[in-house]
Amino acid sequence: ENSMKWDATKPSRGQFRFTQSDAFVEWAVSHNKLIRGHTLVWHSLFPSWVSSVCIGTRQTEIVENHIATVAGRYRSKVYSWDVVNEGLREAGTLRPSVFYNAFITLAFQAARKADPGAVLYINDYNIEADNAKLRGLVDVVSRMNKANPGTVDAIGVQSHLAVRSHPPSSWNSFRWNT
């Protein structure tokens, strides 16, 4: 899950590392598996140098270069990309981050350019019910696709399951294989 995230693919400025992600993609391709690239832009698990990047043209260049390099490397091998992951807060507003706000549209444009045949997702959790976060996400996608049709292909619904760490008391009779 983490081999395509920013901290794994670009741990330091100007240096890409693809050892883990190449091995993952090679294995999946050799076993005829579909690959969903996760994730090009996320507020977490990015190296510290990214936080210190100056705002403006330089940051735009860094985001575009990162996405072009990662998505371009696996062009036509990855059937879909989680372009933006967990971009919204529970209130349905954009999460404060180095990347969000102005960079969501830029990220999708860069991903489309790097891998035009891939299905592009905006991915988030806690959106399986009608709530502020889901409405905010639908609004973001609607505005983006209205301004530039076909920017976002799909909304990915993810979940964070932690059954082993917080099992319901009714599960106490089960024996877990550890």
Name residue 121's beta-bridge partners. 82, 154
24 found inside a domain:
yes
Per-residue pLDDT of 126-152, as tens digits, reads: 999 999 999 999 999 999 999 999 999
Residue 178 lies in a domain: no
Any domain includes 38: yes
**Residue 62: per-residue pLDDT:** 85
Is residue 145 a part of any domain in this protein? yes
Single-letter amino acid, residue 37: G
Per DSSP, helices labelled H in the chain are 6-9, 19-30, 48-51, 57-73, 103-114, 132-147
Provide the CATH number for the domain around residue 102: 3.20.20.80
**Number of structural domains in the chain:** 1
- Within-domain flag for 109: yes
158: β partners: 125
pLDDT attached to residue 164: 62
pTM of the full predicted structure?
Answer: 0.86
- For residue 11, what pLDDT is reported? 84
Domain with 39 in it? 6-171
- Does 177 fall in a domain? no
Q: Examine residue 162 and state whether it is found in any structural domain, yes or no.
A: yes
Residue 1 lies in a domain: no
